[in-house]
Structure 1
Amino acid sequence: MTKTLIAALAATALGGFATPAFAGECPAGNVGPNPLAGAATAPSGVTDTVLASVDLGPEIGVDGRQLRTRRLVLQPGGIVPLHSHADRPALIITIKGEVTEYRSTCTTPIVHHAGEISREAGGLSHWWKNTGTTEAVLLSSDVHHGQ
């Protein structure tokens, strides 16, 4: 192995021990239960378009599941209502604008800016609201129970 490759592997391995606060995550000191009292329960001002999906049964033997990617556009004031990721892991990237997330594992709202990714797994429940003045565009990839 080259010295550069060894140095890169060492840096990657050591990075696993650090616990920095990443953009798009619950700020340090605010991790904790949030009952989400008053959470929005109906969508509003949001379009949700499935861009593509893959049936995971034939691909990797996970029958009844799809890997899908959706495009969500939230108008100012738009809402993605309260939902759970108990068995539906997802990664969400904010493409344009910003959106505020209210999650069951964070005592304060999290503002996601363009370019940030949110990891949704492990039983997380949450809802999103566009509290800005311009539309917010998100790409969501999740493992979904197929139709």
Structure 2
Amino acid sequence: MEYIDIMKRTLALLSLPMLCGWMAAGHAATQPQPLPTERVGVNGKELAALKLPTDFNVSKGRALRMREVTIAPGGILPMHSHADRPSVSYVLKGTLTEYLEGEAEGKQIVAGQSYATQGAGMHALQNKGDVPAVFLEVDLP
């Protein structure tokens, strides 16, 4: 045998144990791991909730949506109601002033706070701050 053939065979024989070890360590085709069935390190807390009326009609082809709403400094979301469109919201950034129909003073809602709106009562939101106010709203449009 030639010297090169001997070297190729020697290299192949020496590589075999490494290849077997690599495959045994899980680098070859392995079975998928089962998905976890227990919660670990998860904490959820309710921030806002609305009780839906017993006659609430969800069969109108609606979709539950979540949207990010930004109100620029000095911006106003004018008076409107959520009579047939309940919503819960969470302020991510900035400060909102909420005005409720029939109330003289507005209520401040700051980043990290949530609020819920439903029913025929009107409300408006204003950003009196110097930075955009950003909130997440979940509702049924």
Q: TM-score if structure 1 supplies the norm length?
A: 0.53
Q: Deviations over 1:108-134 (max 9, x none)?
A: 201100011111012221111100111
Structure 2: unaligned runs, 5 residues or longer = 1-56
The one of 63, 69, 77 equivalent to 2:66 is: 69
> Are 1:89 and 2:86 matched, yes or no?
yes
Relative distance call for 1:89 and 1:67 in structure 2 (3 A) is same
Runs of 4+ in 1 over 4 A off after TM superposition: none
Identity of aligned residues (%): 38
The one of 107, 120, 124 equivalent to 2:121 is: 124
Q: Aligned residue pairs: how many?
A: 86
Is contact 2:81-2:119 (8 Å) kept? no
* Distance in 2 separating the partners of 1:82 and 1:61: 25
Structure with higher helix content: 2
> Are 1:79 and 2:73 matched, yes or no?
no
Structure with higher strand content: 1
Equivalence map 1:1-147=2 (5 Å): 62-104=59-101, 106-144=103-141
* Distance in 1 separating the partners of 2:58 and 2:86: 17
Larger radius of gyration: 2
The CA RMSD measured in Å over matched residues stands at 2.1
* Distance in 2 separating the partners of 1:61 and 1:95: 28
